[in-house]
Structure 1
């Protein structure tokens, strides 16, 4: 058996191979992150009479750069070991201390690590779950982008029409956004009569908003303390920002439809867990991946980064330990949101809600109590996914 280690890079990768006896077959073969580059690697293997059945390949799951290499090798039917960078880093430090070699490079160390064989292999989820992870992270990016745009809009309004937020409590509601699109400054609103504005508001809000709101908006525009210079540039900027929000909101809806379609096909029992619907369930399911990689529920807690980070030095040990925040921030945020819904939502779970209140009576803060509920949810999720069964609703 031969062992090939690949040191992953953005544009180029480096491969080294050792034999069964640990002796180098070749070192530091560089190939590009392209089909031609991967083919040159196989040509190199053929030159050394190495068949894929006599080869084990190791590579680190470094960022996202490893995925194209993995995909190519997987399609070729190679035996691949995806190694967690944390494990590899520990091995790398140990080898460097023992051997003190200056010419040992990353790919050789990976090859030696695979030959040694004492590692926990990163398990890749099936395609549907991997798609969930990609789409839910993309949705998170879109939502965060909308948040950034909203902050920019508030900044513009503070300069050009600071009174606007006193008229519309929800600046980013459907009606308000349409008003901002059509009238980008107080001066433009002043040109419209209260009656015309009232009719427009009524049409936009399906008759929920009428003349009273129109009068208030007209008065605010007439007495606005906003800047009077560069009005056109501010109005233009405001319209562009609103249009961006509307477009990204449509993308969020389309992305959510894709996510829900995958969740429907998977029929996962995770949506039966208190506080978890399709959206949060998709995030949690996608981030966890294969539940089989966790031997115990406590390991899932650690993976989510909601375990306690012990603060200890010498004989001192802090009494109030914060969560470690290791692992996936997407998973951690989704669990926290699910815990909020389960503990203090409109239809809270009786057991988890009682546990939350108990924590409060013990002197814990709200956030600490919600995190405690999130830990309990981890145990429930672990059981539901491990046994592939729906959560049983408890009344006490």
Structure 2
């Protein structure tokens, strides 16, 4: 048995090859992620007359080139969770941290856990694409939060309090009423220079053009707020209009990107056999269904519903010592934080609407709340049940 430990960096990797009992086959050496050098590495490993297993840490995307290349050459490759490797690395008394030492540590891990190593299995291309789209969606959503904060900051100068009267972005249709309104009026002076009747007429015309509800009461409230508000930047300042409208433009560009990505995710998700089943579950709509499928991926890679729950990090590991058995256990949070966020959003949507036809999770949350659980704890318990049901129903689709 030969363990090949690979410490992966951005454009190169450090390799160490060991046999049991610390026998060194090859001391740590570097390999660049190029066709020629990876080909030489694969040829060398294939020439070793023994059972060879390659071990590496998951490193975001940096490990993918060498991983995919070695898999194509038919080598056994195991990808280890970085937290698990960190726990293994911390067993020693001396905390040496170099690329060469990390490669030795990973190689030793392969020897010590030889029979527990699980060969990496690539996801189907559609799940991999959904996962990539999901990551980019979250990236642009963070950009959107920053853009909204910047626009809100500017509106606090020109239209203080306006955000309380107008809704923001609608993820379903991509419309942003606050942004559209700020682009049109951008300063309270543009409202107060009109009479109330003139502004109401102007607002209703604007709402009709943009496809919003034409509410006269809303126009009256906005006009009253504009009369009472105290802008701290004059509308006569040349840069005021430019700054507000540029902030709206940036926000709109991000919104368009988000809608483009979401549309692509929906198209891919609808091509999967489990989509109708997932979409029919309580709390899951056209927006959350592709996000949920993208984050969970191929459910067949989990051996049970409990494994999916552990992947989400909402399992509560048992704690027992002597005669003491812990009952008030917190969730581990050792799993996908993105899946927990999406799952919690599903539970929130489930609770804010009337009881759905598929009401098992909804009633379970109500039951937990009646037992005295906090609303947040009840939703997490509901998510636990939701993922069990998700696993069972999707597996049933693939077993038919």
Q: If the length of structure 1 is used for normalisation, what is the TM-score? A: 0.80
Aligned CA RMSD, in angstroms, stands at: 3.8
Q: How does 1:206-217 map to 2 (within 5 A)?
A: 206=208, 208-209=213-214, 217=222
Measured in 2, the distance between the counterparts of 1:194 and 1:157 equals 21
Match of 1:357 among 366, 384, 388: 366
Unaligned regions of 5+ residues in structure 1, if any?
391-396
1:24 maps to which residue? 24
1:68 aligns with 2:76: no
1:86 aligns with 2:83: yes
Secondary structure, counterpart of 2:115 in structure 1: coil
Q: Do the aligned partners of 2:204 and 2:214 also contact (CA within 8 Å) in 1?
A: yes
Q: How does 1:27-66 map to 2 (within 5 A)?
A: 27-32=27-32, 34-35=33-34, 39-43=36-40, 50=47, 55-66=52-63
Report the more deviating stretch, 233-242 or 360-369: 233-242
Measured in 1, the distance between the counterparts of 2:11 and 2:100 equals 21
1:271 maps to which residue? 279
1:114 maps to which residue? 110
1:249 aligns with 2:255: yes
Give the CA deviation at 1:245. 1.6
Q: What's the CA shift string for 1:304-340, capped at 9, x where partnerless?
A: 1222377999999886543322211111112222223
Alpha-carbon spacing, 1:234–1:292, altered in 2? closer, same or farther (3 Å): same
2:230 maps to which residue? 225
1:13 maps to which residue? 13
Q: Do the aligned partners of 1:137 and 1:330 also contact (CA within 8 Å) in 2?
A: no
Q: Do the aligned partners of 1:305 and 1:325 also contact (CA within 8 Å) in 2?
A: yes
Q: What's the CA shift string for 1:96-147, capped at 9, x where partnerless?
A: 469x9x9972222323333451334254422211211121222223233223
Secondary structure, counterpart of 2:47 in structure 1: coil
1:373 aligns with 2:382: yes
Q: Do the aligned partners of 2:166 and 2:178 also contact (CA within 8 Å) in 1?
A: no
Q: Do the aligned partners of 2:18 and 2:107 also contact (CA within 8 Å) in 1?
A: yes
Alpha-carbon spacing, 1:375–1:16, altered in 2? closer, same or farther (3 Å): same
Alpha-carbon spacing, 1:200–1:316, altered in 2? closer, same or farther (3 Å): farther
1:262 aligns with 2:268: yes
1:302 aligns with 2:335: no
Q: Do the aligned partners of 1:16 and 1:28 also contact (CA within 8 Å) in 2?
A: yes
Q: Do the aligned partners of 1:124 and 1:290 also contact (CA within 8 Å) in 2?
A: no
Q: If the length of structure 2 is used for normalisation, what is the TM-score? A: 0.80
2:207 maps to which residue? 205
Give the CA deviation at 1:250. 1.2
1:394 maps to which residue? none
Measured in 1, the distance between the counterparts of 2:56 and 2:238 equals 55
Give the CA deviation at 1:249. 1.3
Unaligned regions of 5+ residues in structure 2, if any?
170-174
Q: Do the aligned partners of 1:59 and 1:83 also contact (CA within 8 Å) in 2?
A: yes
Measured in 2, the distance between the counterparts of 1:175 and 1:273 equals 30
Match of 2:349 among 341, 344, 349: 341
Q: Do the aligned partners of 1:132 and 1:259 also contact (CA within 8 Å) in 2?
A: yes
Match of 2:396 among 363, 387, 390: 387
Measured in 1, the distance between the counterparts of 2:302 and 2:65 equals 26
